Amino acid sequence: MSSPTADPPGARILLRLVKDGLISPQQRDQVLLAARRGVDMSCTDAIVDLRILPEVDLLKHLANVYRTNFVTTQKLAQARVDQRALQLVPLKVAERLAVCPILFDVPNQTLAIVTDSFEDDDVGKQVQMASGVREVKVYLARRAAVKTLIRKYYRGEQSAFLELQMRSDAGQNQGPPQGGIALGSSAGGGFGDAGSINISTSGSGAYGSSAMAPPGGGQGYYDPHGGYGSGSLDPGSLDPSYPSMPAMSGISGSGVAPLPTMGSEAQPAAARTPSIDPLGGRDRRRSFTIEAPEIVAALKGEVAALDQELKQEEAERHTNEAVPNALYLETLNVLVALLENSRGELRGHSAQVARLTKKLCERVGLSDAQMHGILAAAYLHDIGKASNYHLTAYNVAQYEGHRVRAVKTHMSPLRMFEAMNLPESTVKTLTHMYERFDGSGFPSRIGGKEIPLGARILALTETYVDLTSHDKNPARKALDPKEAFEFMARLKETVFDPNLLDLFQLSVLGDDLKAKLLSDRSRVLVVDPDPEETTVLELRLVERGFEVVIVRSPQDAIERATELKPDVVISEVALTPMDGFALVRELAKRGINAPFLFLTAKGDRETVTRGFELGAKDFVIKPASADVVAAKVQQVLNTAPTGEAKAAQQRGVTGTLQEMSLPDVIQILAHGRKSGTLEIRTGGRAGELLFGEGNVWDANWDDKSGAEAVYAMLALTEGDFTLDLSRHPDKRVIQESFESLLLEGMRRLDEASR
């Protein structure tokens, strides 16, 4: 039972509801009393259970207040949640924050969650830190529905929503409440469709197939992307090609991927060669790696030494007394997240540092067992150092006040956890994280490779996170990745290991560039003031692989359209202060002529005629199926002339050969089966590689053409490149595969260097 005096979740919103005239002061008191008497009951649950407001009306109002979207209990009961989304958020984090992931957009690294914590602006940020994704989209739902969804998918309780409905029915004497969860009804669907929010991991698209599951669950459903399947979540439906999750993201429980066993981590794996793997691990036999070999070679001796140290340590430790590495790191993740919860801009800092530390360890070639102790240090490095100073390697090297404080507190994490028998690599990393590469650091004034590898890695990753995540850093603003590395380069070879810094930069900037090279998604701008009307539509469009941006007003639409250059605009006619027709004209004045599709409740002949006269590609009357609207958007793009809506698929991507080597660019385009022209420029010279379905069909460089031009360009280490997906080769001149071209090019470079 909740404390009779403590405010239940959502108590503050009651004042807003009274002010807005949705409930009376007497009803507010009634809701507070009911919520306090309940077990972990929120005020929104009490409002619906007491039949003061229908669930749809309540969530719709709150979504308008907080400028977001919502999902009804009925929709959540029918949803099939993406396994990959569940793997990103540990059960403990989901239960602590009262959130549940529902969708994971792999290309954009965007996670969608449902929560009732609409008063807490940091919920999305905390989930982002825990999951390591680039962006988190937050949808509103009732607390009871969110917790029931957690029970269903994390704990495997398939009847959880049925039990919720039965409890709701048991408390009613006169039929279902206005906001109940009658699972067989179509209430709460913004588009009038009674279908579920299907989030399957099978099929095509960023999230999987768009099959519709019947309201009962467990019944057979037809998947247009591939036959019949079960209506329930199938753990075996996970795509085996999906990259394995970080160790700290392991989840236990029914229906989700189990934590790795101790046996899988006890033996160190062979050191891996760092690479950008366009295949995501699906076919490493065809992966051709040519990236910073001199950096990797310089680090191989340290990897071998760390491996030997690890073997000796494991021999001294009894296997049965050890905690599985993944569970150990998961526990540290949760513990440190709780400790950092009140640190303002540093909330979630250590989780970010650990994620990037893992990335850099993998690029160096450390096995899971080798990197375990370093990752533990990444989680623990800030424990006991809380003060007005954030003690990164950069700050300590530059500012005397930071250095004095660091000298006093740098051993605090080890003192606080000395009873835990920390791994030797953890102790060394934490002890020497403020050493400097030139030997002027502390406590031992060692330099170069005498500094433990983990300490040199942690110095880089913590500084990078500090520079990019908030504005209270030496740069006095949150830097983008490229700016952060330029900033860190000032202390290259004095504070930071130059080889590791270069490799870290290649890793971070290369991953961003790879995502851009492989992305050809069309952008859809949706303009509608009603969150209810856009929630399901957004999910359907994302499932089909679109990048979706939603705005609520014409002013926001003009601003975002100018910035993003959308490929299709979906708009309501009834907008204020200007209507949808005026919006079309205003965008045209600004040179934005993307195809327009009106989705509106105004269906009279005059409105429809006026829309088509303005050049609308289609006119859809509400309520309309979200699947139908998504299909119409795809049809508009398929029929639009080149240079108009298809501009998204022809949008250029630019980069430098310092960020990503030419062999890596060729590999990525080959494995992505891209067609287009890669233009190369350096020192006043220019060349081009013409791709057809992933293979190099032709090439030109200076007076060379064909394969000889490819071999000449492979020697370039500096310059800029631009990928133009609108220029396709007319015929295939080069018959060799891209692997053969790369191998021969590297052979020639080796001979030339002898």
Q: 142 in the Ramachandran plot: left (φ > 0), alpha (ψ -120 to 50) or beta? A: beta
Query: What pLDDT does 13 receive?
Result: 85
Strand pairing partners for 619? 598
Cα dist from 120 to 57, 97, 655, whole Å = 21, 10, 38
- In the chain, what are the helix, strand and coil shares in percent, each to the nearest 5? 45, 10, 40
Domain ranges of the chain: 54-220, 290-515, 523-645, 652-753
Is the per-residue pLDDT at 433 higher than 90? yes
Reported as a single tens digit per residue, the pLDDT across 163-220 is 787 766 655 443 433 333 333 333 333 333 333 344 433 333 333 333 333 333 333 3
Residue 452 sits at the vertex; the CA angle it makes with 446 and 456, to the nearest 5 degrees, is 90
Joined tokens for residue 470: 């908030």
Q: Is the peptide bond before 215 cis (omega within 30 degrees of 0)?
A: no
Residue 325 corresponds to which amino acid? N
DSSP state of 523: E
In this predicted structure, what is the pLDDT of residue 41? 84
pLDDT digits (tens, 9 = 90+) for 399-423: 999 999 999 999 999 988 887 788 9
Please determine, for residue 704, whether its predicted confidence score (pLDDT) is greater than 90.
yes
Is the distance from CB of 371 to CB of 423 less than 8 angstroms? no
pLDDT of res. 296: 59
In the CATH hierarchy, which fold is given to the domain comprising 523-645? Rossmann fold (3.40.50)
What is the per-residue pLDDT for 67? Answer: 80
Q: Which residues of 77-87 are buried (b: 16+ CB within 10 A; e: fewer)?
A: bbbbbbbbbbb
Sign of CA dihedral 491, 492, 493, 499: positive
Answer CATH for 290-515 from 3.30.420.40, 1.10.3210.10, 3.40.50.150, 3.40.50.720: 1.10.3210.10
User: What is 54-220's CATH number, 3.40.50.620, 3.30.300.160, 3.40.50.2300, 3.90.1150.10?
Assistant: 3.30.300.160
Integer CA distances (angstroms), 12 to 16, 31, 43, 46, 363, in order: 7, 12, 9, 14, 48
Residue whose tokens read 């998604």: 521
Contact 179, 53 (CB under 8 A): yes
What pLDDT does residue 323 have? 57
Check whether 246 has a pLDDT greater than 50.
no
Residue 93's closest CA among 258, 201, 248? 248
Instruction: State the Cα–Cα distance between residues 450 and 726, nearest whole angstrom.
Output: 52
Same fold, 54-220 and 523-645: no
User: Roughly what angle, to the nearest 10 degrees, separates helices 662-671 and 738-753?
Assistant: 170
Q: Is the pLDDT of residue 461 over 60?
A: yes
pLDDT of residue 239 exceeding 80: no
What the block records as the tokens of 739 is 């692997």
pLDDT digits over 340-354, tens only? Answer: 777 777 888 898 899
Query: Is the distance from CB of 376 to CB of 405 less than 8 angstroms?
Result: no
Predicted local confidence at residue 513, as pLDDT: 66
Q: How many residues does the chain have?
A: 754
- Give the contacts of 415 (CB within 8 A, at least 6 positions apart): 384
Region of poorest pLDDT, from 14-28, 310-324, 649-663? 310-324
Rounded mean pLDDT of the chain? 77
Dist. CA 721–CA 687, nearest whole Å: 10
